[in-house]
Structure 1
Amino acid sequence: MCRHLAYVGPPQPLGALVVAPPHGLFRQSWAPRRQRYGTVNADGFGAGWYAQHDPVPARYRRAGPIWADPSFADLARVVRTGALLAAVRDATVPGADQEAAAAPFAADSWLFSHNGAVAGWPAALAPLVAALPAVDLLSLEARNDSAFVWALVLARLRAGDEGGRALADTVREVAEAAPGSRLNLLLTDGTTVTATAWGDTLWYLSRPGGGTVVASEPYDDDPHWREAPDRTLLTASGTEVLLTPLKEPSGAPAPAPRKESRT
């Protein structure tokens, strides 16, 4: 269900990260190499990026497949950014939300994406509705599992949690309410990328020229791509990557984190 990618580092054209790579998100929309669930990601796409000196990201989202939108290819050729989050979507269930259901979701300075599916949606998460303020529920961009998971994350961010804690606590809460869910989450504030590997693939690449890419799967055959283990929280800033094991909802405390970097 879906493929997504985030990047922080020296400014790059959007197309250099999304369109140009031989197995980038553009190609993953119809021919992903490591997708375990679903085969074609044609139910919408989106890209969010940050302009210099502006902490609020811009977004471009559409309801159709990325390959059918020549305007995006033109945009991606000329727009440069030092931070990007993009996704191609394979819908969990049919819906009428159109591009509103396509990642990235956004609020304040954050961009967010969910690769996976909530088991038993929506009934399984009904008990979590009470944890959200009414205004957050009324402000949901779409009526799907990803938008609701984003609302849970956003509530924690606005309460003061840093990104890693907001993602980790949300994953444990949703996994407890809906066992068997796949919860690969991706979050950026334009400086740091935070992600979870929970039930699906997650890879990362520290680029020789600086910066880090975090993605559902490698966009090329560079031998320096590394796969994050399942049940892992990943935080990337510059070329430093921190991997922290995540515990199951009723498990013992997680082991100490470990750092990986490439210069």
Structure 2
Amino acid sequence: MCRWLAYSGSPVNLEDLLFKPAHSLVKQSRHARLGSEEMNGDGFGVGWYSRRRPRPGLFHSTHPAWNDRNLRELSALTWSRLVFAHVRASTGAAVQQTNCHPFRQDHWLWMHNGLIRDFPTVKRDLACSVAPDLFSLIEGSTDSELFFHLALTFGMKDDPPAGVAAAVRFIEDTGRQHGIEYPVQMTVATTDGETTWAFRYSSEGASRSLFRSVDISAVRSMHADDSFLEDLSADAHLIVSEPLGDLEGAWEEIPESSCLVVHGPDAEILPFAPLAA
């Protein structure tokens, strides 16, 4: 469906992050190993935060990530302490820039791998439940962007896990009213620029893959010859749809029905389940 990564830690060069790992996100855009599709060529996006402004920058393109010269040029000269990046395999929505992840609202970013099943059937009911002041901000036609605005509607800015859980519950309830047995399939990442929340959940209990890096300093000591790891700070965290390499001990699978919370050097995995608003 899609592949994504979220990075937080000391400022990292985007070219090092997106291109240099053995199984980088750019390589995953062409040869994903754990996704439902091998190729994720329906556009890409990068969101990153600077030191001076709370609102993140965005770069979206409908070109495949492996074939976009501007991505390489931009990445080579950009460093950031918090990066979201996403390569897209459309589940039906048009290939256009407004449908590329990550999505932004003020200082928040959001990206999604998965789908709302039979989205055309439930789209009207879901859209009509978005808060009026947020509805006008929806630019594209994807289920992912609508999901984001539902989570915002249900209070994600005040309590991200509760807001996302309420949105999932509402989507599931709406889908089942239309006879859809398993309405939600998701790995989601969202951030306010300081904390990152990553969710792995599906209605059928068989979610898309999601991993996190383990202690970077310990991994670096085991693999001192890996040039990508040597530039990462000891408190760096990577959350990925699939590992960026085959280093033994470098990656840990995030459990089904979980929420990973990363803030500075600290990371915690919490149980996640749909919750009535």
TM tier relative to shorter chain: 0.7 to 0.9
Match of 2:245 among 214, 220, 227: 220
What is the deviation of 1:248?
Answer: 5.4
Q: Is residue 193 from structure 1 mapped to residue 196 from structure 2 by the alignment? A: yes
2:269 aligns to what? Answer: 243
- The Cα of 1:188 is off from its aligned counterpart by 1.3
The equivalences for 1:16-55 within 5 A come to 16-35=16-35, 37-55=36-54
Q: Offset of 1:229 from its aligned partner? A: 1.1
Q: What CA distance in whole angstroms lies between the structure 1 residues aligned with 2:112 and 2:173? A: 17
Deviation at 1:183, TM superposition (A): 1.6
Deviation at 1:64, TM superposition (A): 1.4
Residue 41 of structure 1: SS of its match in structure 2? coil
Identity of aligned residues (%): 28
Question: Where in structure 2 are the equivalents of 1:66-145 lying within 5 Å?
Answer: 66-95=65-94, 98-145=96-143
Alignment RMSD:
1.8
Q: CA shift at 1:94, angstroms?
A: 4.3
Which 4+ stretches in 1 moved above 4 angstroms?
Answer: none
Contact 2:162 / 2:275 at 8 angstroms: preserved in 1?
no
Partner of 2:149: 151
- 2:210 maps to 202
Larger Rg: 2
CA contact (8 A) 2:4 2:113 kept: yes
Q: TM-score, normalised by structure 1?
A: 0.87
Q: How many residues align?
A: 247
1:46 & 1:77 partners in 2: Cα distance? 16
Q: So what's the TM-score if we normalise by structure 2?
A: 0.83
Contact kept in structure 2, 1:103 and 1:112, CA below 8 Å:
yes
**Over residues 132-181 of structure 1, what are the superposed CA-to-partner deviations in whole Å (9 max), with x where a residue is unaligned?**
223422321201111110111222347x5222222222223223333242
C-alpha distance in 1 between matches for 2:270 and 2:9:
22
Alignment of structure 1 residues 244-259 onto 2, 5 Å: 244-247=270-273
Aligned to 2:169: 172
Distance 2:69 2:167 in 1: 36
Q: Structure 2: which amino acid aligns with 1:183?
A: M
5+ residue gaps in structure 2? 176-181, 202-206, 218-233
Equivalence for 1:161: 158
1:211 corresponds in structure 2 to: 236
